[in-house]
Each structure stands twice: as C-alpha cells, then as structure tokens.
Structure 1
Amino acid sequence: MTLAVAIGAGAGLGAIVFRWLISSFTWVFSGHADYSATGGQAHPWLPALGPWFVLFAPVVAGLVYGPLVHRFAPEARGHGVPEVMYAVAERGGRIAPQVTVVKALASALCIGSGGSVGREGPIVQIGSAWASALGRLVRLPESRVRVLVACGAAGGIAATFNAPLAGPFFAMELLLRDFAAESFGAVVLSSVTASVVGRAVLGDTTFLDLPSFSLRTPWEYLLLLLLGVVVGAVGVVFTRVLYRVEDACDWAWRGPEWLRPAVGGLLLGGLLLVLPQMYGVGYPVLQDALGGRYLLGMLVLLLVGKIVATSLTIGIGGSGGVFAPSLFIGAMAGTAFGEVVHVLLPSASSPPGVYGLIGMGAAFAGAARAPITAVIVLFELTGQYTIILPLMAAIVVATLVSRKLSRDTIYTLKLRRRGVDLDRLATTNPLAGRTVDSVLEPLPEPLSSDTDLVSAGHQLALSGHGILPVVGGDGRYHGCVSARAVAEALGGVRAGDLVVADLAELPPLITCDAPLTDAVAALVNARGTGLPVLDRDGTILVGWITHQAILTVPQSISRTGFPLKETIRKPASVSTGAG
C-alpha cells in the first residue's frame, strides 16, 4: 500500500508536469492557449506569416521529438496504451524507465505543435513506466509489478482528467483485464493519491463546463439505442481508418524513422491550415459542438476531419492518445444525430447536445470496448448524472455493435498486427484449466507441534524444502514452520523455551481443486520451496506442491491442448483443525 501511495503521488506530479509541458509548447508553437478555438488566427509573434505558420509548426516539433523517440525510447511512438497492455500481459510489467521522460516530452511537443491526439495514452505510459521502475527497484515479483503498473496508469488518468473513479476502472478493465479485490484496492489508493496531488495544483472542477442536460420523454430511449448503433459503428470506422492510414504512411515512407515526423508534419500542417479546429486535443471545439454552436454540415466536417487528423498524426510517427479523439468523434457524431432528430421531432426531442454527450461515451465504447470505463469517465468529465441511464443504454449497444463488427479494439489491434493476441495468451496458458491435484507430490514428514527447535532445524535441513507442516498430538494441522523462522529463533535468548508450535504460521490455503494459477501466486510469497495442499473442504492434508512440480505442466500438454499424462500421487491423510 505504501508503494501504491508513492506511485499515485508520482503519477499525480507527472500529470501536472505533462499538462504544463503541453500548455507551454502550445504557447510556443501557436502563440495561444488553445489554437483550436481561434478560428485560424496568425501567430502573435509571427504576424507576417498569418495562419501559414501551422504548416511548419509540426515540422519543427517533429525534428525535435523524432530523433528523441528513435534514439532513446521507440516504444514512446504512437498512442501508448497497447505498449502498456503488452508489458502487463507478456513482460511482467517491465517498462524501460526512460519512457517516462521521453514520452512526456515527445507527446507534449506533438500535441503542442498541432498533433490531433489526446493526452491519456501518454499519461498512462508515463505513470506506468514510473511504477514499473519503482517496483523493480524494490525487487518485487512480476505479479506485484503488474499491479503497480496498473496503479501508475490509474493515477495518471485520475490526475490529468480529475477523474478518481475513471482511473481505476480504466486500469482494471483495459490493462489488468480483471477486478481482483487485492489489485483493485491498490489501484484505487493510487488513484485517490494522484487525484489529491492533481487537485492541489490543477483545481477541482469538471473537465467540461456544460449546461444541465436531461431527456424530455421516455420515448427518446429508443432513439438513443439507435444512436448507440450508429456511434458504435463510427468507433469501429475510426479504428480501421487509423490503421489504414498508418499502413499507408509505412508504405510511402522510405527514409530514416527519426525524420518521419518532420516530413509527415507538412501533411499535418496542411490539414491544420484548412481546418484549424483539429489543432491539438480540441476540447474547446468539442464543448462548442455540445453547446449547439455548429450546424449539421460543420459537425460532419469536424467528425471526418478528426478521424483523418488523428490517423495522420499517429501514422507519421506522432506521440499521443486516441481516447480524447474518440470522445471528440463521438460528440460530433452524436450531436449531428441529435440535429437530425430535432428537425424531425422538434417538440419531442432533447437538445442535440444531449445526444452528443451520450455519443462521446458510445464512441469510446465502440473503439475501446470498455463499457464500464466509458460510463464512469463520461460522468466524471461532465458531471452530468441526469443522463446516466440513457448513457448506459447507448454504451451497451455500442459495445455489442463493436463486438459484432470487429474482433479487435483500437488498442488490441495494434498488438495483433505484431502477432500478439492477448485473448489467446490468456486461454493458451499451460496452467489454464489445470488444478493442483494434477501435480501433487507426497507430503513431507510433518513436525510434531512439541518438537524442540534443534530437532526441527535438523529435520528441515534434511527435507530440502525449507518449510514443513506442523501437526499436534491429535494429528490436527497447525500450519507450517520455515527454516528461516527456526534459525532466527535459535539465535534468540529464549530458544530453549520454544517449540515448533510457537513458530507455526498458516500459509495461504491451497486445496487440491484450486487452479494452478492460484497456487503459483501463493508459492511466489512462500518462505520455502513448497506448500501443503488440503482436500476440497480444507480439512485434511493430502499432499505437497512445489515450483518444480508446476514446471512439469507444459511438458505434459500436447499440441492439441490435452494432457498427455497425469501425475497422480498417493495422498497423505493428516487431519486439520486448529486454525
């Protein structure tokens, strides 16, 4: 828990610095706090160029961050989240520590110079890299490092968006891909810490300042289900266009990779010259759309423009996230849908902004297929609790549509294109579906609870396990005693007064029908080389399990996935009782 707090504090500070870097580079490259809201004005420091400066801003930034990423952290290129997902699933949470600095600088330069990407991917990678480095510094096992990486991601999301609930759900749903109680507690603690640090500097306000929205009639739920279908499909289209454009850039570029962002920046600058609303993240434009300041044609133009601008930014080697662009795309699609509905049913429909707000969550659900995160993050970004029910309905529909239209999400498709299938990795794990009784070993000779420490030390040395079970005079199981505990006690002044029962500890309960994956987790923290196994009721000792026995599992599985042989051991019958 101490590490979770430290990681949350570090992620919160990282989010503050990252947002400051984005603001600073935006001022430098555009002369405005957010150029997307200026309508294409000239740079105040370069008035002679007029709006043409945006043609060169991405080029100059690319000349800086292109070599930086290529030389020090190639994994900092792109939108970041897939790299963290891969590190958690396949690399034991190991992320190079330099990613923290390189990703922050590269993404801030990219966004500040006009890159049409978001900041959630970078802050996830920044917080995760910091957590990974800290976890490995204190030499934690891989299972713990994975959780810490999720803590760093949650803290980064929570601090940068002032979203302490969305952070944990993003990390659990997309990175860890489960909601284990122990992991969830650490991730929430990190998120809370990061939020406190972030709010102390950035303030405590919702990210989007919107008027209160609500539905006019219950019949609108039917329209919102249709909205979920439409915007869910738009999210899938965004995913496919993103990678098609990236493929096209890969095909067209034949020069050195470090130069690619600068040369491609000319294309991005040309697009920004025509459609300056695509500059950077574009939250002011999104808010104007929800506020009803754009007509239908402009909404469609902004929708298409964002898909192209984000895809081009990633394709030329830019660094930034796709979470914010998916929200932007959803807002444009939803508001456009609402405009059409308002024309057809003017007296029975809500303002178009309601549909745009719900479309934000539906688009993210369609692209990332993370419905829980989509609901929570929309609530926290907007503070609009009144639309939570229709939001949930539209998000569920969008998720189902996305699953029907596409096998992958916007994050997992990047990994599949590299030959990494996260779902296959989970189901083809040699330990998946196996239980402890398939690798049972004979139970070592238990120690009697009244055994003196000298005799116990002798038996532990002969056993070779470093830990032995302890039974009472009535044969009841009292726990285990480790060689380390006996050795430490023998060095004390009261060693002659102690017996084994005084040192016995209850290790994690492992039953014969428990999954092997649970046994591995228990063995990671065991004091010796094995642990006792009890029957299904947890009352009788039936055997012993070791790391060596588990290592034989892959050799006993055929290519078809069926076991070639089973190792059946004769169980030992020792009762258990006292806990």
Structure 2
Amino acid sequence: ALLLGLVGVCYLQFTHTSFSTSTEFQLGMPLIENIPHVYGPGFTFIEQALHGNTSFWILALLIFLKPLATSLTLGSGNSGGVFAPSLFIGAMLGGAMGGLFSAWNPELAGPPGAYALVGMAAVFSACARAPLTAMLIVFEMSNDYALILPLMLTAVTASYLAQYLHPESIYTVKLVKRGVRFDQGRDKDIMQGVQVGEVMLKEPLTIYKNQPLTELYRQFQETNLLGFPVLDDNGALWGIVTLLDLEKALSQESVGLPSLKVEDLATVDPLTVFSDEPIWTAIQKMAPRDLARLPVVSRQSEKKLLGLISRSDILRAYDVGIVRKQRGQLLEKQITFRQEQHNDFVEFRLKNGHYAVGKRLMELELSTFINVVSLDRESVLHIPRGGTCFDAGDIITLFGRKNFLGPTRERFFSGKEEKK
C-alpha cells in the first residue's frame, strides 16, 4: 500500500509537468511505435495483466513509460485523460508485485491478477483522494468479495500517504497551478453557529383558543399565513393551529362549524424550541415530523411565547451562517496581510450626505495603491466592481498602503483627499 501510494504521488507530479512548445510536438511517436501498450487507455493490456499473462519485465517497464507518455501527451497540449492511466499504472505495479510474490512463495501468494486489481484501486485512490470510489470501481470489475479487505486497506493507506506527501489531488493540482485554491478539511456546520432567536419571527400573529372558527378563517384569508400559535386566556402558549386543520374541519359536513372554536382544532402542547438554541436543533425537530413551523419559547417559562420559526427562517439562517463564514475568512486574510509592514485594512460605514453615496466605484477615481475588497450591504457581502453603486449604510473595507488609506476614506466621505 505504501509503495502504491508513492507511485500515485509520482504519477501526479508527472502529469502536471508541462512540456509544451510552440512547434509541433512529436516525441511520443517513437514511443508508441515500439511499445504500443502505452497508447490509449490501455484497457486491453490491463486485462492481460489481470489474467497474469504478462512477463514481469514488461510490467516493470510500463510502470515508468506510461506516466512519461501521459505527461508528454498532456504537456504538449494534446487531448487525454488521467483516470485511465492511473488504473493502468496501478495494474502494472500490482501485477509486477504479484509476480514477484508468486516467484518467491507460490503457496502463500495469490494470483498476480488479484494484486493488479488492488494496485488499480490504490493508485487511483492516491491520485484522486477518493478511496471509496476506487474500491467500488474495482470491486464492480472483479465481483470478488474476498478482495474487499485488501482493497480497503491498500486504498485508504495509499490515499492517506499521498495526502501527507502532496496536499493536492490529480484534479485540483491544475487549478492550484492557475491560482485557484480550495480550503481543505471539513467545515464546521454553519447552522450550529446561528441561534434561533437571530432569525425567528418576533411578535408573530396569534389567536386565542376561545375565539370562534370564523375568526380563524378570516385571519387565514387576510394574512395568507399557514399557521398561528394559540394562546390561552392568560396569554400563555397553549397550542398551534394550521390551515390544514381548518381544511379538515371544513371537509366534515356533519360538524357544526359556527359552534366550533379554535381549541377544537388546535394541536395542544406543540413541540417548541428555545431562542438560544442553534438552528440545527430546530431542524432536527421539524424535519422528521414534516413540521413547517415551531413556536419559540423562553427558558424561564416554556409557556411564554417569544416568536415563531418557519422553514423560510431556516433558509435565512443559512445565509446568515454563510456571511459569518465569509467574514471569518476575510478576518483571517486580514491578519495575514497585516503582517506586511506597509499594508493594512480600514473599514467604515457610509452615511447620508457622504460624497460616495449614489456614485459608482469608477467615478471615485481611487489611488492604484488601494483596493476596495468588500462591500457589506444588509449583512450580504459583495465584491465591488467598477459599476458598483454605493448606498447609505454600506460597510466598505479597503486594503492597501497605509499612507493612502486615510486620504481614500476621506475621498468616500467628502470627495476630497487629505494632504499628507
């Protein structure tokens, strides 16, 4: 597994090495003419390796020639993939190792084809950092349950070793080369950082349990809401009633609707959530029961209604969590940039009467030493462009040379630059 992981890292290094040139590139032709095994995906020769019909020396030679041929093909601008070559290299290395083990101890060693299968999974897992995918692909090819444990062990070990030696996969390394990077690791659930009280509907419309059904019908028609918390005579939470409850009552012709009250339809002692609990707690209560809303109560008194949280509020909570995550990432970058001696950040809020309000960024004619890195408008982060128009209440973040930050901020406020 360790050897297969190392080969996967080496193959990754080979494939993102560029050999491009301005003239027609023909170095691969002698290689293809003399050793046709490296041409194309090589599935035919993989099948021969799986059946153990290939000599050790051919397998060993192809371990080095296939990455070279792939690198020359991709680096010269020709079309080609990286998935099939990784399977090919794994099969060659696995088959070669299987041949060595069979020659050393034929009784204990299994067939070389089994080693080739395991090698395919391990090398692809090391290149793509996808051990589960590699295991499923190879298991589907073999349909042999006896290979499950070897596949799991080699694929996971090779993937972890490759991750330790090279942080990027065969698919992300090209993006990194172009300056596109993805944060590694599992992010903390952003819904854990948003409390129910931050997004709940405060002071929701309510109805009392002793009110007639006609009043409930009128409120549903006037508000277009789908549910109301139900209060008792003392104003404490008693239950909850929904439009579905009313529709069920209307469908029963035998029931005397004029004589019914809200308490005859409402659900008593509904599930509730506290305002200081994370949104994730509300989701865990609502999702399994297909609830559309939950009353929010106080910890001091579970009958004191503080608000109502619905599915739309949960979607808004996700937006709040995303903004907080973006702000955290921005703060981390600000700390990193501030380590540079001559650069810094400054943040300020625009107010009515400021020069920049109502103007586009291009109209301000800012210094080339200053970047407007973000615009926070109603808790939504934006990346300002030349045509971005500023409004009162916008929070502007500038980054650049320290001696230019003050004059630039004054430019936003008054339209003039301070003389330093």
TM-score, normalised to structure 1's length?
A: 0.44
The secondary structure found in structure 1 opposite 2:193 is coil
Match of 2:13 in 1: 240
Equivalent residue for 2:3?
230
Q: Distance in 2 between matches of 1:427 and 1:448?
A: 44
Is the aligned partner of 1:309 residue 2:69? Answer: yes
Alignment correspondent of 2:193: 434
Partner of 2:114: 354
Alignment partners' CA distance in 2, 1:298 and 1:377: 25
Q: CA offsets, 1:430-457, max 9 Å, x none? A: x364133361442513334665566346
Residues 543, 348 of structure 1: alpha-carbon distance in 2 compared, 3 angstrom cutoff:
same
Partner of 1:340: 100
**Correspondence for 1:469 among 193, 216, 228:** 228
The 1:496–1:311 alpha-carbon spacing in structure 2 relative to 1, beyond 3 Å, is farther
Q: Structure 1 counterpart of 2:10, which letter? A: V
SS of the residue aligned with 1:300?
A: helix
1:281 correspondence with 2:41 = yes
Shift of 1:407: 1.0
Q: CA RMSD in A?
A: 4.7
Residues 460 and 555 (structure 1), Cα distance of their counterparts in 2 relative to 1, 3 Å cut: farther
Alignment of 1:372-411 (within 5 A): 372-411=132-171
The Cα of 1:382 is off from its aligned counterpart by: 1.0
Q: 1:503 to 1:271 in 2, by over 3 A?
A: farther
Structure richer in helix, relative to its length:
1
1:253 to 1:451, Cα distance in 2 relative to 1, 3 A: farther
**Residues in 2 aligned to 1:316 and 1:509: alpha-carbon distance in whole angstroms:** 64
Equivalent position of 1:80 in the other structure: none
CA separation of 1:416 and 1:481: change in aligned 2, threshold 3 A:
farther
How far apart in 2 are the matches of 1:360 and 1:544?
Answer: 55
In 2, the alpha carbon distance for the partners of 1:479 and 1:268 equals 74
**CA–CA distance in structure 1, aligned partners of residues 100 and 35 of structure 2:** 24
How far apart are residue 280 of structure 1 and its match? 2.7
Amino acid at match of 2:195: V
**Partner residue of 1:513?**
277
Q: Give 1:81-96 correspondences, 5 Å limit.
A: none
Is residue 94–residue 116 contact of structure 2 (8 Å, CA) maintained in 1? Answer: yes
**Where do 1:167-206 residues align within 5 Å?**
none
The alpha-carbon deviation at position 472 of structure 1 amounts to: 6.7
User: 1:332 and 1:544, CA in 2 relative to 1: closer, same or farther beyond 3 A?
Assistant: same
Q: In 2, distance between residues paired with 1:311 and 1:517?
A: 51
What is the CA–CA distance in structure 1 between the aligned matches of 2:6 and 2:164, rounded to whole Å? Answer: 10
Q: CA deviation at 1:299?
A: 0.8
Larger-Rg structure: 2
Check the 8 A contact 2:273/2:295 in 1, yes or no. yes
Q: Which amino acid aligns with 2:229?
A: V
C-alpha deviation, 1:372, in angstroms: 2.1
Contact 1:444/1:468 (8 A) holds in 2: no
The letter for the 2-side match of 1:427 is D
The answer to which structure has the higher strand fraction is 2
- The answer to whether the Cα contact below 8 Å between 1:334 and 1:357 also exists between their aligned partners in 2 is yes
Amino acid at match of 1:323: F
* Deviation sequence 1:132-180 (CA, Å, 0-9, x none): xxxxxxxxxxxxxxxxxxxxxxxxxxxxxxxxxxxxxxxxxxxxxxxxx
Taking only the aligned residue pairs, the percentage that are identical comes to 31
Partner of 1:330: 90
Deviations 1:384-433 (A, max 9, x none): 2222222222222212211211212222333444444444596388x364
Report how far residue 375 of structure 1 moved: 2.1
Choose the corresponding residue for 1:544, options 291, 308, 312.
308
Amino acid of the structure 2 residue aligned with 1:382: S
Measured after TM superposition, the shift of residue 314 of structure 1 is: 3.9
The 5 A counterparts of 1:252-271 are 252-253=21-22, 266=26, 269-271=29-31
Residues 375, 555 of structure 1: CA spacing in aligned structure 2 closer, same or farther, 3 A cutoff? closer
Q: Which SS does the other structure have where 1:244 is aligned?
A: coil
**Residues 89-238 of structure 1: matches in 2 within 5 Å?**
228-238=1-11
Which whole-Å CA distance do the structure 1 matches of 2:172 and 2:155 have between them? 19
Partners of 1:518 and 1:407 in 2: how far apart?
37
Distance 1:473 1:351, change over 3 A: same
Deviations 1:20-48 (A, max 9, x none): xxxxxxxxxxxxxxxxxxxxxxxxxxxxx
Q: Distance in 2 between matches of 1:303 and 1:508?
A: 63
| Residues 1:272 and 2:45 aligned together | no
Structure 1, unmatched stretches of 5+, are 1-227, 255-262, 562-579
- The answer to whether the Cα contact below 8 Å between 1:450 and 1:499 also exists between their aligned partners in 2 is yes
TM-score with structure 2 length normalisation?
A: 0.58
Query: What are the Cα deviations for residues 179-200 of structure 1, in whole angstroms up to 9, with x where unaligned?
Result: xxxxxxxxxxxxxxxxxxxxxx
Of 472, 475, 481, which residue of structure 1 is paired with 2:242?
481
Q: Look up the equivalent residue of 1:240 and give its one-letter code.
A: Q
CA drift of 1:342 comes to 3.2
For each residue in 1:529-578, what CA deviation from the matched residue of structure 2 results, as whole angstroms up to 9, or x when unmatched?
A: x8644689xx87653343556655536955447xxxxxxxxxxxxxxxxx
1:243 Cα deviation from its structure 2 partner:
1.3
- Matched-pair contact (CA < 8 Å) for 1:242–1:310: yes
Going from structure 1 to structure 2, the CA distance change for 1:296 and 1:334 (only over 3 Å counts) comes to: same
Distance 1:439 1:284, change over 3 A: same
Equivalent position of 1:74 in the other structure: none
Change (3 A) 1:499 1:312: farther
**Structure 1 CA distance for aligned equivalents of residues 150 and 60 of structure 2:** 23
Letter in 1 for 2:242: V
Higher relative contact order, structure no. (Cα contacts within 8 Å, ≥ 6 residues apart): 1
In the alignment, the residues of structure 2 paired with residue 419 and residue 410 of structure 1 have an alpha-carbon distance, to the nearest angstrom, of 15
Q: Distance in 1 between matches of 2:2 and 2:45?
A: 24
